[in-house]
Chain A
Amino acid sequence: MTMMFYVALALLALAILCFLYRVVKGPTVADRVIALDAIGICLAGMVAVLSIVLETSVFLEIILLIGILAFLGTAAFAKFLQKGVVIERDGNH
């Protein structure tokens, strides 16, 4: 049974490696941003599997936190790519 969780961890690590290939290779910046977002979600999955392996529930906040941070970071980078600024001063431009 525990073997299954280690296999899942290895598969998630393999997925992160594939996304890292996209981060390094990706021709455009958007490719790299998407890959980093997916790496964050894979990390949340790894934390979930790891908390099953360690038989603890104290990591569950981390999963939600990684989700929030991945969304915030991706939204900030997307806005930077689109407008050149992350935070606008006023809404008139």
Chain B
Amino acid sequence: MNELILRTVTAVVTFIIILFGIQLFFAGHYYPGGGFIAGLVTAGALVLLLLAFDIQTVKTMVPVNYRMLIGVGLLFALGTGLGGVVFDVPFLTHAHGHVMLPVLGDVSLHTAVLFDLGVYLVVVGVTMTIIETIGEEE
């Protein structure tokens, strides 16, 4: 069966969905959004790829081990918490400050973003593990 229309639409729409997910992730501190919904939206884009193509093709397109992603995300969250202990403050104490970056200039950064990144990776990993595991069984 020819799936030309679905595949062409997917090629355009997937990037928009992933960009929307990134926007939700970075807007999470000041506007509605955050790691959870951004992870789900990114997983939605990957599910759209799975719908238009098949599991083997998507695995070559996005060569990511999703179970590994869960572990990396949990390490990010744990590392952010232990970072506070290193500086002699209670566990999960966050710090923020202004950093001069080469291109972007004066940027206000907060370590809660790293914790959110952990949440994001875990949500993407868990969702894709569930969907791929169900999709692979006969």
- Are A and B bound to each other? yes
Residues of A in contact with B (beta carbons under 8 Å apart) = 58, 61, 64-65, 68-69, 71-72, 75-76, 79, 82-83, 86-91
Query: Which residues 44-66 in B have Cβ within 8 Å of A in the complex?
Result: 44, 47-48, 50-57
In the complex, chain A residues whose CB is within 8 Å of the CB of B51: 72, 75-76, 79, 86-87
B120 CB to nearest A CB, Å:
16
Interface of B is mostly: helix
B20-A88 in contact (CB<8A): no
Which residue of the partner chain, among A69, A71, A89, contacts B54 with CB atoms under 8 Å? A89
A90 CB to nearest B CB, Å:
5
A75-B44 in contact (CB<8A): no
B56-A89 in contact (CB<8A): yes
B47-A72 in contact (CB<8A): yes
Could you name 21 residue pairs across A and B whose Cβ atoms are closer than 8 Å? A58-B31, A58-B32, A61-B33, A68-B41, A71-B13, A72-B51, A75-B51, A75-B52, A83-B1, A86-B51, A87-B135, A88-B54, A88-B55, A89-B55, A89-B136, A90-B54, A90-B57, A91-B53, A91-B54, A91-B56, A91-B57
